[in-house]
Chain A
Amino acid sequence: MKTPPLKIIFFFAICIGYALNSVIAQTENMVTVKGGVYIPLYGVDSTAVKVDDFLMDVYPVSNSEFLAFVKKYPQWKRSHVKRLFADKNYLVLWKDDNTLSDQLKPNSPITGISWFAAKKYCECQGKRLPTIDEWEYAAMADDKTIDARKKETYNQYILEWYETPKSFNNSIGSTFKNYWGIYDLHGLVWEWTLDFNSVLISGESRKDVDKDSNLFCGSAAVGASDLMNYAAFMRYAFRGSMKANYAVKNLGFRCVKDIDITP
């Protein structure tokens, strides 16, 4: 690797000035998710996780928004990006560095971006990527309830989406609005999370069952909770197959922001 470390640091620091300016403006398309304690899909009572209040983007980041980002930060253009930060599939469907191809709609979610790019985008907006727990917490809501994971219809909806090809080309906002006022957590694209690779999956799910009994007890019971675990399994399997420089056609992202606790 020839790139000197200092250059990398510079590279990461470059958008800070911009971020400070845009913080207030950017919270407009965000809504508050009121925190709470939840049991992750894979968990049992003792594994309950506390999630603090946070702001989340109402929509996933769109193609046109990401286009504006690369124009402002050319080091994230397709031909400029470092392989370390994004593999060859990065923005592969774009016509060139500055143009979407005809098959991509401006208001469809951005996909084909790496974790590094998504993280940087959020930082440049004064935001960050959601953690797995934040994302899962917000995404367990359907249109009426905070935790719809026990509803069979809700899980069937998620499972059906996992089987629907090419949904990445639908528009943002085309799925349902959930309890918090957030769209498209299910039904459009997968989304990057900050700590996507913190759950280690070997890829051999049968082995994972006894590898970490807290995480994967899903194969045990029959019934609604089992169905629920199947949806979770698929998300965790997907995350487990990722590396931070992968760019994937069905994977986008959105950002979150901490709520300032001002007395």
Chain B
Amino acid sequence: MKSKKPFVLLSSTGLFIGVLLMILSACSENKEAEAKNYLGPEGIPVSQEMIAELTSPPNVPGPTGRRKAKKLIVNMEVLEEEGEMTDGVKYVYWTFGGSVPGSFIRTKIGDEVEFHLKNHPDNKLPHNIDLHAVTGPGGGATSSFVAPGHETQFSFKVLNPGLYVYHCATAPVGMHIANGMYGLILVEPEEGLPPVDKEYYVMQGDFYTKGENGDRGLQPFDMKKAVDEDADYVVFNGKVGSLTGDNAITANVGETIRLYVGNGGPNLVSSFHVIGEIFDVVRVEGGDLINENVQTTLVPAGGAAIVEFKVDVPGTFILVDHSIFRAFNKGALGMLKVQGEENKKIYSGKQEEGVYQPEGSGIQEMPVDKGVAQTEETAKSLQEKMEFGKATYMRTCFACHQAEGQGIPNAFPPLAKSDYLNADLNRAIDIVLHGKTGEITVNGEKYNSVMTKQDLTDEEVANVLTYIYNSWGNSKKEVTTSMVANRRNTH
């Protein structure tokens, strides 16, 4: 319409503005009329066709903003492939789009989704997809059952805004989900979700392996444990460490973060919490209900939540399932690293520190079962000792001494290029075996803290110390199992 107006502009600017105003108001009236014309979301007309952008976690496709409903083509490939659960532990994952959780699908209410499900020819099994955002039998599962080397297509219109889980629903359903076949589909309202600075995709899942947590090698799925709901791993985004260290999600001070949090299960309900943050907004269960100022939000298996918060101070914020043993012993732990200016008004940092021991210096410890058989694989070379030692380090030591042995200033002493460590090997073994309390000086800095006794086997101690001594500029000593056994027996 605007293209017809230039000659009006030439003759009379005033008239032009008047006409323009009339047109604008007519347009917005038209829009409202149009909006009221259709009865409910099923009447929303679609223009144009678009191929959906799919992202693997922790990434989220760009907002739908103010775009109109479209015919949205989703191409999703099912892949059965080997991956790593944690260092040294392999697992055959079944995936939507090659990742666990599967690719994130972002739609707008009224979109007509044309879904193509492709089952890779190398796959052993037939699969299908049940999207909780679908209104229809099986959420699409009845229409999408597809053999290896084949493709099925079905279409649906998204009618309800919210964040929804999708998953495979082929027999045995529990096994398909337990192997990683779940993900999230977002249906944005007509006006889009309010803009934020950063968006991320986090989805929890529980895994059941034949071996115990940490047992090395390729671990098959264990049906009995799954039925008993006895999880070996509870993780974010498919594996231990998918959101820690270099994989941590990031933000800057002052930014608002939105997390799309899902839970694939198959069994466990998540108590989702970010240590050191309060959720300003929680879209409860991914629906319309908004709760504010929430510490921990429940994410049911086969459900989701959207959480939003502004980060005010720098630091590392830990994402956990606050069923807390899952976080520290089974892997449900992620990191949000925030950079920027300190704000001492909001958070001072440590102001004072001392030892407080009302019950003497004895540290609480668990009774050790001396009869436990050591079925772990034995390291045969220095290289294997390093590898196994690193796995133990990442499980046991990493939280305080950090990934590169750098420690945390004023709290946990460094292991990298550490004069204290290199000065006395037996003392180092003793500290791992029996713990350490009180003031020590490491590389010229004083530390006054507590390290608990570590519940590790002699071999694990030997491997982890060998790893530490042969990393980060230390003295390259090799620690043997018998050296550790000797120290254990002298006490």
**A250 and B148 alpha carbons, distance in the complex (Å):** 8
Interface residues of B in 190-233 (CB under 8 A from A): 210, 220-221, 223-224, 227
Given contacts A226-B227, A234-B171, A238-B126, contact A202 B221 (CB under 8 A): no
B residues 129-146 with Cβ under 8 Å of A?
A: 130, 137-138, 141-142, 144-146
Assembled-state Cα–Cα distance A230/B146 (Å): 19
Known: A233-B171, A246-B147. A207 touches B92 (CB 8 A): no
Q: Are B149 and A240 in contact (CB under 8 A)?
A: no
Q: Are B171 and A236 in contact (CB under 8 A)?
A: yes
A214 → B minimal CB distance (Å):
15
Contact present for B80 and A165 (CB under 8 Å) = yes
Known A227-B223, A230-B172, A237-B170; contact A207-B125, beta-carbon cutoff 8 A:
no
Which of A1-9, A74-82, A155-163 is near enough to bind chain B? A155-163
Interface residues of A in 63-78 (CB under 8 A from B): none
- Neighbouring B residues of A92 by C-beta, 8 Å: 121
**What residues on B are CB-neighbors of A241 within 8 Å?**
126, 145-147, 150
B288: Cβ under 8 A from any A Cβ: no
Which listed residue, A164, A204, A222, touches B92 by the CB 8 Å rule? A164
Q: Is there an interface contact between A234 and B80, defined as CB atoms closer than 8 Å? A: no
Contact B148 A249 (CB under 8 A): yes
- Contacts A160-B220, A240-B126, A249-B121 given; indicate if A222 touches B172 (C-beta within 8 A): no
B residues less than 8 Å from A155 (CB atoms): 223
Q: Between A and B, how many residue pairs show CB distances below 8 Å?
A: 114
Instruction: Report which of A163, A204, A233, A246 forms a contact with B138, defined as CB distance below 8 A.
Output: A204
Q: A258 contacts which chain B residues (CB < 8 A)?
A: none
Interface check B440, CB cutoff 8 A: no
Smallest beta-carbon distance A41→chain B, Å: 12
Structural contact, B141 and A204, CB atoms closer than 8 A: yes
Closest CB in chain B relative to A58 CB, distance in Å: 23
Chain B residue nearest to A223 (CB atoms) is B227
Indicate if the CB atoms of A163 and B220 lie closer than 8 Å.
yes
| A-side interface size class | 35 or more
Interface residues of A in 177-233 (CB under 8 A from B): 190, 201-208, 216, 218, 222, 226-227, 230, 233
> Counting CB contacts under 8 A, is A55 at the interface?
no
Interchain CB contact (< 8 A) of B142 among A203, A233, A243:
A203
Nearest-CB distance from B314 to chain A (Å)? 44
User: What residues on A are CB-neighbors of B145 within 8 Å?
Assistant: 201-204, 240-241
Known contacts A204-B138, A233-B172; A165 and B124 CB within 8 A of each other? yes
Query: Once bound together, how far apart are the Cα atoms of A54 and B165, in whole Å?
Result: 49
A143 at the interface (CB under 8 A from B): no
Q: Is B173 an interface residue (CB 8 A)?
A: yes
List B contacts of A248 (CB < 8 A): 121, 147-149
Q: Which residues of A contact B124 (CB under 8 A)?
A: 162-165, 190, 250
- Encode B106-127 as 1/0 by CB contact (under 8 A) with A: 0000000000000001111110
* A165–B81 touching, CB < 8 Å: yes
Number of interface residues of B (CB under 8 A): 36
Find the A residue at minimum CB distance from B173. A205
Q: Report which residue of B81, B130, B147 has the largest number of chain A beta carbons within 10 angstroms of its beta carbon.
A: B147
For B147, what are the chain A residues with a Cβ–Cβ distance below 8 Å?
Answer: 238, 241-243, 246, 248
Q: Which of B82, B124, B173, B179 has the most CB of A within 10 A?
A: B124
Q: Is the CB of A205 within 8 A of B169?
A: yes
Closest to B141 in A: A204
Chain B residues with CB under 8 A of A83: none
A203 touches B141 (CB 8 A): yes
A152 located at the interface, meaning its Cβ lies under 8 Å from any Cβ of chain B in the complex: yes
Knowing A248-B147, A248-B148, say if A162 contacts B82 (CB, 8 Å): no
- Tell me whether A230 and B175 are in contact in the complex, defined as CB-CB below 8 angstroms, given that A160-B220, A241-B147, A246-B150 are known contacts: yes
A27 within 8 A of B: no
Chain B residues positioned under 8 Å from A230 (CB to CB): 172, 175, 223
B92 touches A237 (CB 8 A): no
Question: Which residues of A are found within 8 Å of B125, using beta-carbon distances?
Answer: 162, 234, 237-238
**A89-B121, A246-B150, A250-B148 known; A203 and B223 CB under 8 Å?**
no
A166 in contact (CB, < 8 A): yes
In the bound complex, CA of A162 to CA of B92 (Å): 11
Within 8 A of B (CB), among A38-52: none
- Complex formed: what's the CA distance from A160 to B146 in Å? 22
Q: Report which of B148, B173, B221 forms a contact with A163, defined as CB distance below 8 A.
A: B221
- Given A162-B124, A242-B147, A203:B170 Cβ within 8 A: yes
Is the Cβ of B82 less than 8 Å from the Cβ of A205? no
Residue numbers in B under 8 Å from A166 (CB-CB): 122
B270 interface hit (Cβ, 8 Å) = no
Give B72 Cβ to nearest chain A Cβ, in Å.
Answer: 23
- A164 to B125 CA separation, bound complex (whole angstroms): 11
Contact A205 B146 (CB under 8 A): no
Q: How far is the CA of A165 from the CA of B179 in the complex (A)?
A: 14
Q: Does B86 contact A (CB under 8 A)?
A: no
Is B137's CB under 8 angstroms from A204's CB?
yes
Inter-chain contacts of A206 with B (CB < 8 A): 138, 141, 169, 173
**A234 with B224: CB separation less than 8 A:** no
Q: Which of B81, B123, B148, B175 has the most CB of A within 10 A?
A: B148
Q: How near does chain B come to A182, taking the closest CB pair, in angstroms?
A: 21
Of the listed residues B171, B172, B221, the one surrounded by the most CB atoms of chain A closer than 10 A to its CB is B171
Docked pose: A164 CA to B220 CA in angstroms: 9
In the complex, the chain A residue whose C-beta lies closest to that of B150 is: A246
Q: Say yes or no for B128: interface residue by CB 8 A criterion.
A: yes
Bound form: Cα–Cα A208–B145 in Å: 13
Interface centre among B145, B172, B210 (most CB of A within 10 A): B172
B230 nearest CB across to chain A (Å): 13
Closest 9 pairs between A and B when the two form their complex, measured CB to CB = A203-B145, A241-B126, A205-B171, A233-B171, A241-B147, A204-B138, A204-B141, A204-B142, A160-B220
Q: A159-B220, A165-B123 are in contact. List 7 more A-B contacts (CB 8 A).
A: A160-B220, A163-B80, A190-B124, A202-B142, A203-B141, A204-B128, A218-B171
29 contacts between A and B (CB under 8 A): A156-B223, A159-B175, A160-B220, A162-B124, A163-B92, A163-B124, A163-B179, A165-B80, A165-B82, A165-B92, A190-B124, A203-B144, A204-B130, A204-B138, A204-B145, A204-B169, A206-B138, A206-B141, A207-B138, A207-B142, A227-B223, A230-B172, A233-B171, A237-B126, A242-B147, A246-B149, A248-B148, A249-B148, A250-B122
